Amino acid sequence: LSKIGVLTSGGDAPGMNAAVRAVVRKCVYENIKVTGIIKGYQGLVNGDFLPLNAGSVSGILKDGGTMLKSARCPEFRTPEGRATAYENFKKQKLDGLVVIGGDGTFTGANIFGREYNIPIIGVPGTIDNDLFGTDLTIGYDTALNTVVDAVDKIRDTATAHSRLFFIEVMGRDAGFIALNAGVASGAEVVLLPEKKTSYDDLKRFLEKQYSYSKDSSIVLVAEGKKMGNTFEIAQRVNEEHPEYDARVTILGHLQRGGSPTVADRVLASELGVAAVEALIDDQKSIMVGMVDGEIVHVPFNQALKNKKGINERLFNLINVLSGGKK
Ligand code: F6P
C-alpha cells in the first residue's frame, strides 16, 4: 500500500474532521502517501485532489464540518460517472480509499469497489446513527447534545408560557436522535418512524399529561415519523385543545454543526486509524465500526441491508418518566 485517498460524503457530521485527521496521521505513521478528495465522490469525478501531510490536518480535530467538504453526487450514481472517477483514481496512482459518510456513501463505495476491484473502507459518519453494525456513528453524540441543549432552552419558555411544543429533529428514516434526546431532555412524548403512534394515541397521551396538572409539555418529533407534517399535527391539536397553546420548532441544520464532543472525537480517532489498518490488511468493501468497545469489520452489504432497531427499553421509559401513573 503506497498511496490512498480519503473523502467525506453525504450530510456532514461533527467529528468528520477528527476522522480525516486520524486517517492522515496514521498514513504518515505508516509511511503511506495520502491525498484528500474534495467534495466526496464529486472530487473523484472532477479530479479535485488535495495532497495531505501531518501538518495539513493540524487544528481540525475540534472543528465541525469537514475540511474536505462534502456533497451528494448524482454523477457517481451513473456507470459513466464512475468510469471517470476510476480514471482519476488511476491517474493519482491510488491503491485504496477511505470514505467517511452514511448509507448513501457506502452504497456508492460498494458499487464502485466491486466494479473496479478497488479496496474501499467505510467510516460511519452521520448524525442519524442509522448504520447497522456499529453501536454509534460519528456525529451522533454531538447532535444529541446540541438537541438537548436546544430543548432545554425551549423548555424554559414553554414552561413560562404554559405551552405545548412540538420540536422536530433530524434523523431521516430513523428515530435515534428523537428517542435519546427525548429521554435526556425529559420529553413527555416522542414520535418515531419506528413506532406506529396514531393521532388519537398522541391526543390520549397529552390529555393524560394535562389531567394530572401539567400545563406544558414537549413532544419530540423525528422528521421521519409516519404521522404527517409537524405543523399540521400541531394545528389539529390547537383546534381541539386551544388551551394547550401549541407551538412548533424545527431544529434543522443546527443539529449538524458544532465542535464534536469528546465521545465523537475519540470514536472518530479510533475508526480513522482502524480504516487505514483495514486497508493495510487487504480488506475491501467493509465498514469499520465499534461494538461494545471493540473494532468490528462489517461488509458493506450487511451494513446496508440490515436495519438497526431502536432501544425498546428506552422507548418505554418515556412514558414512565413523564410523571403519570400506569
Ligand atoms: O443524514 C443526515 C441528515 O442531516 C438527515 O438527518 C437529514 O434528513 C438529511 O441529512 C438532510 O439532508 P440535506 O442537508 O441534504 O438537506
Q: Give pLDDT tens digits for 81-92.
A: 999 999 999 999
Mean pLDDT over 144-169 rounds to 98
Q: What is the pLDDT of residue 62?
A: 98
**Which residue, by CA, sits nearest to atom 11 of ligand 1?**
11
User: In the beta sheet, which residues pair with residue 247?
Assistant: 165
- From the CA of 10, give the closest atom in ligand 1: 1
Rounded CA separation 81/115 (Å): 12
Q: What is the pLDDT of residue 323?
A: 83
Q: What is the pLDDT of residue 211?
A: 84
Give the percent of the chain with pLDDT over 70: 100
Rounded CA separation 31/323 (Å): 58
List helix spans (H) across the chain: 16-30, 41-46, 79-91, 103-116, 140-160, 176-185, 199-211, 230-240, 262-280, 300-305, 312-321
Q: What is the pLDDT of residue 7?
A: 98
Mean pLDDT over 6-24 rounds to 98
ipTM of the complex: 0.98
Q: Which helix (H) or strand (E) holds 191?
A: strand 189-191
| Cell matching residue 211 | 389531567
List helix spans (H) across 227-284: 230-240, 262-280
Q: What is the pLDDT of residue 212?
A: 78
Rounded CA separation 47/49 (Å): 6
**Which residue, by CA, sits nearest to atom 7 of ligand 1?**
172
| Cell matching residue 278 | 483495514
What are 114-131's pLDDT values in tens digits?
999 999 999 999 999 999
Q: What is the pLDDT of residue 246?
A: 97
Instruction: Write down how long the chain is.
Output: 326
Nearest partner of 304 among 126, 102, 154, judged by Cα: 102
Q: What is the pLDDT of residue 278?
A: 98
Burial class from Cβ neighbours inside 10 Å (0-12, 13-18, 19+) for residue 238 reads middle
Ligand 1 close to Cβ of residue 126 (< 6 A): yes
Q: How far is the CA of 172 from the centre of ligand 1 (A)?
A: 7
Only one residue has cell 452489504, namely: 301
Nearest partner of 75 among 102, 100, 44, judged by Cα: 44
What are 179-236's pLDDT values in tens digits?
999 999 999 999 999 999 999 999 999 998 888 778 999 999 999 998 999 999 999 9
27 annotated as ligand-binding: no
Q: What is the pLDDT of residue 213?
A: 76
95 vs 325: which has the higher pLDDT: 95
What is the residue-averaged pLDDT of the chain?
97
The pair phi, psi for residue 93, each rounded to 5°, is 55, 45
Rounded CA separation 178/189 (Å): 10
Q: How far is the CA of 215 from the centre of ligand 1 (A)?
A: 33
Ligand 1 close to Cβ of residue 130 (< 6 A): no
**DSSP 8-state symbol, 227:** T
Query: Which residues have a Cβ under 8 Å from the Cβ of 283 and sit 6 or more positions away?
Result: 119, 121, 297
Q: How far is the CA of 202 from the centre of ligand 1 (A)?
A: 26
Q: What is the pLDDT of residue 292?
A: 98
| Whole-structure pTM value | 0.97
Q: What is the pLDDT of residue 324?
A: 78
Ligand 1 close to Cβ of residue 256 (< 6 A): yes
